Structures are given as C-alpha cells and as structure tokens.
C-alpha cells in the first residue's frame, strides 16, 4: 500500500510539473489517503500482530 501511495505521489509531482493542476491535486489526495490507511494498518499490525510462542 505504501508503494501505491508513493506511485500516486510521483504522478502528482509529474502532473504538477507539466501544469495539470487538477490531476496533480487528485493524485496527491489519493496518495495522502493511501498513506493514512497504510499508517493505520501498520500501527494496528504492530499492536495486534502475531504473538507466537518462543520456541
């Protein structure tokens, strides 16, 4: 998921470079949402992750 967020961020940067403000804004918004979802899932996996027994 972090890879997708970085991909949309790069798309936003390229679109902004070429002057496509609407596309750049949309791609940046998508990247921001994906990054927040990634952070939430990462924190949840740290808290509720696998708690196996030590062998």
Tens digit of pLDDT for each residue in 2-47? 788 888 888 888 988 888 888 888 888 888 999 899 999 999 988 8
SS3 state at 20: coil
State yes or no: pLDDT of 52 exceeds 70: no
Q: How far is CA 37 from the centre of its chain?
A: 7
Rounded to a whole number of angstroms, the distance between the first and last alpha carbons of the chain is: 32
Confidence (pTM): 0.69
The Cα 7–Cα 11 span in angstroms is 6
Domain range list for the chain:
2-46
Neighbour tally for 40: CB within 10 Å: 10
């Amino acid at each position: 998921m972090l890879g997708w967020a970085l991909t949309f961020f790069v798309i936003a940067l390229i679109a902004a470079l070429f002057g496509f403000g609407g596309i750049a804004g949309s791609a940046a918004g998508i990247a921001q949402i994906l990054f927040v979802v990634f952070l939430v899932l990462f924190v949840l996996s740290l808290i509720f992750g696998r708690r196996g027994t030590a062998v």
